[in-house]
Every structure is written in C-alpha cells, then in structure tokens.
Amino acid sequence: MIKLEALRSLVAEQLTAGHIETSTSPWNSPVFVIKKKSGKWKLLVDLREVNKCIEPMGGLQLGLPSPAMIPQTWSITVIDLKDCFLTIPLQPQDKAKFAFTVPTYNHQQPVERYQWTDLPQGMINSPTLCQEFVARALTPVRQLFPQFILYHYMDDLLLAAPNREQKAPFYHKVLEALKAFGLQVAPEKIQEEFPYSYLGSTLESTQIRPQKIQIRRDHLKTLNDFQKLLGDINWLRPSIGIPTYRLCHLFGTLEGDRALNGPRQLSPQAAKELSYVEQRISQGFLSYLNPQKSVQLILFQTPHSPTGVISQDVAILEWLSLSNQTNKKLQTYIDKIALLIAKGGTRVLQLTGQEPQEITTQLTNAQVSKGFQFNEEWQLALADYPGKLSNHYPHSKLFDFLRQTSVVITNVISHTPVSGITAFIDANKTSEGYWTDQQYKVLPHSFSSVQLAELWAITLALQEFNTVPLNIVSDSRYATLSCSILPDVDLPLFSRSSIDKLFLRAQQLLLQRHDPVYICHV
C-alpha cells in the first residue's frame, strides 16, 4: 500500500511537469519504486523488453575528460544540468513504446496507463542521445570561444578561462545556448570557488585529489565483490598511482572458481594491499598543466611490471600501468616496458594532441640498442617516435624512491654460440634426454606433449651443466624460444599448472647461473 501510494504521488509529479501523458498504448513496461538513502522514493520503469527492440547507438565519449589538462591558475566554473533526460522530447511516434501502468488493488477500478513524452531513464540509447543533444547545444559556443576549455560529460560541464573577466562572457554564452535547447541548469549545483567536485575528483587551487572514500571490507565475500572492488581501484589508479605489484594478492582473489557468487576471503596480504590503496587515496594527487613546459613520459622498473607517469618535470599529470592480465603466456620485462611506452604515447596524444617530447626509462644505451635489434614490441612502440629517449630523471623524493625499488634487468642468455659444452636435446612420446660429446642422459616421462618433454630435457641440461658456459640445441621451437626469454619473464604468482612448474624450474636455474647460455633451435 505504501509503495503504491508513493508510485501514484511520483506519477502525479511527472504528469504535472509534462514528462508523461495518459496513454492507450498496447506497450506496457513494468514500473516500480525504490526508496533512496535520503528517504525519498524514486520512480523506475523496467525497459529491458523495449530495449531488445532498439538498435544500440554505442557510446560517443569513450573516456572522462582529464582536469589535469586545465592550465594552472585558470578560472573554473562547474555546472550540473538538471534532469537532463527529461528536457529532451521524444518523437511523437515513439512515445507509445514507453508506456507503463499504475495498478490498483483488487481490480476495484480501471488501471491508469501513461507514456513518457521525454527521454526516459533506462532506455538503452538515452545516455547517447543526451550526450548528442547537449553537444549540439554547445557547438556554437565552442566555435565562438575556441581558446577556452569547455568539458562536457553527460550532464556535467566544466568551463575554464585564463581569468574571471574572460570567463564571464563565455559563461553567459553557455547558459544562453543551454536555455535555447530547453536545458536547465541546477542553480544549487553551480560551483564557482575552490575546491570543486568534478567527476570523482576534488579540484583544489594547486592540485587535483580523488574524492575521499572508505573501502568497506565486510562486504567482500564473493568473486563479484572483489571484481567490483578491483574495478573501482583500477578506475582510481591513473589519479593515485598504484603499481601493479602492490595489488598482486587482491588480483589473486580472482583466480579459481569463475562463478560470480563463488566464495572469496580477504587474505592478510590482500588486506595490507587494501590499506595501501586507502593510503594512496588520501595522499595521492595530480597537478595542473603548465602550458609553458613540454609533456614527457617517464617509466619506472617496478616489480612485476613497469609503472609510468605523464609529467612535466616532477609535476605528475597522470599515472600509467599495464593490465594484470597479459595476452602472452611468457612476456619479458622489456616487452612490458615497450607496451607501456606505446600506451603512454597514445595517452599523451589523446590528452594534448602531441607525442611526448621525451621518454625516460632506466634502460642503458646498450639495452635500448638491444631492444631495437631483437625485441619486436620495442620496435613497434618506438619505430616512428620523433622525440628523445633518455635515462636522466627529474629529481624528486617520489621518483628517487621508485627508482630505488626498481627491477634490475640482467640476462645470461647469449645471442651467439659460447665457448663451452654443447648439449643436444630430444624427446618423443615416452622419453626425453640430452647428449654431449662426453655424456648423455635419457629418462622416461609422463608429460601430455612432446613439447613439455623437450622443455623438461632442457631443464635437466641446465641443472647438470650449471657452472660452465653452455650451448643448448633442440628441434622444439616452442621450448627454445620460451627458455630464451624466461630470465626476463614474471611468471604467474598463483597459477601452478604443469607447464608453469616447468617454466618456474627452468627460470630458477637460469637466474642462478653466472655463465652464459646459448639456446638454439634447429
């Protein structure tokens, strides 16, 4: 009874406002009300069946505008549009498809049927149509003031100009353009002074901080709970800078049973990582753009995978990291550096319209040269890069700390034959082994494939000849290529299949060596 009365009250409000009208349409979507945290009721129409009949338009805006691109000292105004969807009228022929019914108890009277006259929430294309409608309203203003900033994301607008005097006519033209299209500004949500609340960030006078949130641990009980948590953390990472290795145990909770309601627990190690995330949320910040300085890309060789920043000297505009999941089973650290360079270069181009003037890594000139010679990912990332490659870092406590905790890239793998023992590797379905001019070893195996047996035979040779230079010759391209990159690969922390165990053992033997190894496929 309470919900029905709330529904009737909300329907009366929408009818008075002109957002709905009475209907005789045969279409009929379910309608219900929910109580918000404020105690007020909200009207919702379930349009899933209607959405099945509509061709999705797709998104027009594939990311959020970065407030870090606002020049330092510029004057800012943030505007929220009021009931954006409900100010966009539907075409008359489409209104009937968005009808719904207000029921009665015990069939004591005919039901009341209504249909939306304006863009309804829950329709699959409503967000896209809203973006397009607002963008169309703002186009003349953009053309009139191309030198100023006008960020538009859904119903949030941000205006910026060098000072208040220049911003005033710009601001008034924006209001006029919105009014001409029937769009209303929520007066109570116009922000004219620091700090501004904008798209999950707090804009202070000299820096940009993530809005403070508290992570609830008592709700983390299923796979889906941890998926949502890590989705939120990944959304924050460009603002607060969390290296991937500081989240490895949290990512580990996603392993195992794939059922969304599958049980999960927050391990002590994952709890520590969550505390670190909360610390970064409270301490992390970004800087505003300095138009007088160039933008550069700086990479740090953090454990597991590199971490990057888009910066101007020590002023950080955005943090960069790679996905925890990789497309390759074995991916070298140089591969990861190259992939992050490619990602960072694309991101700088998106933000500024230009490539970074300088890319800084911890690699030596010899390692860079080797990357151009032997690493395909490196070649693809930097083949046409017009800027400067450097290994000289700006001085800051944070940058110095990240460099001190970096991974040192060393490798005993030789690209040419070495002066030492040559071991020939072979395997079949039942046995595997190695031969040298002085000795041989053949053992039975129970592996499911000859490739795995070849890999195990290489491991035996590495174990037997661990104190001398060694040449390994095998007819398994898979085994030789895998072993040649193993010293630089970060193997899965939690997955322990048969092949993972073989890779791990071979990697341990290679990392323990002091003498070079040449691995050849014939």
> Which tokens in the block code for residue 411?
């490798």
Q: Which residues contact 453 (CB under 8 A, 6 or more apart)?
A: 427, 428, 431, 432, 445, 447
Spatial distance between the Cα atoms of 406 and 412, rounded to a whole number of angstroms: 19
Q: ∠ at Cα 387 (410, 302), nearest 5°?
A: 35
Instruction: Spell 132-153 as b/e; 16+ CB within 10 A means b.
Output: ebbeebbeebeeebeebbbbbe
Q: Which domains does the chain have, with CATH numbers?
A: 2-57+89-116 (3.10.10.10), 67-86+125-200 (3.30.70.270), 223-283 (3.30.70), 296-404 (3.30.70.270), 413-521 (3.30.420.10)
pTM above the 0.85 mark? no
**DSSP string covering 439-473, please?**
-EEEEE---SSHHHHHHHHHHHHHHHTTTS-EEEE
Amino acid at 108: Q
What single DSSP character describes residue 233?
Answer: H
Q: Give whole-number Cα distances, 75 to 147, 155, 362, in Å.
A: 14, 20, 38
Spatial distance between the Cα atoms of 386 and 384, rounded to a whole number of angstroms: 6
* Strand-pair partners of 319: 309
Instruction: Spell 3-42 as b/e; 16+ CB within 10 A means b.
Output: eeebbeebbeebeeeebbeebeeebebebebeeeeeeebe
Give, for all 522 residues of the chain, the pLDDT tens digit: 788 899 999 999 999 999 999 999 999 999 999 988 888 899 999 999 999 999 999 888 888 999 999 999 999 999 999 888 888 999 999 999 999 999 988 888 899 999 999 999 999 999 999 999 999 999 999 999 999 999 999 999 999 999 999 999 999 999 999 999 999 998 888 999 999 999 999 999 999 999 877 788 888 999 999 999 999 999 999 999 999 889 989 998 988 888 999 999 999 999 999 999 999 999 999 999 999 999 999 999 988 889 999 999 999 999 999 987 777 778 888 999 999 999 999 999 999 999 999 999 999 999 899 889 988 999 999 989 999 999 999 988 888 877 776 556 667 888 899 999 999 999 988 888 888 888 888 888 888 888 888 999 999 999 999 889 999 999 988 888 888 888 878 776 555 677 888 888 888 888 888 899 999 998
Spatial distance between the Cα atoms of 102 and 298, rounded to a whole number of angstroms: 59
**DSSP string covering 297-346, please?**
EEEE--SSS-EEEEEETTEEEEEEE--SS-SSSS-BHHHHHHHHHHHHHH
User: Phi and psi (nearest 5°) for 69?
Assistant: -85, 0
Sign of CA dihedral 455, 461, 463, 469: negative
User: Phi and psi (nearest 5°) for 519?
Assistant: -115, 120
Spatial distance between the Cα atoms of 506 and 81, rounded to a whole number of angstroms: 60
Sign of CA dihedral 515, 516, 521, 522: negative
What is the number of alpha carbons within 13 Å of residue 179 lying toward its C-beta?
6
Q: Which of 244, 247, 264 is nearest to 255 (CA)?
A: 264
Q: Which helix (H) or strand (E) holds 185?
A: strand 184-185
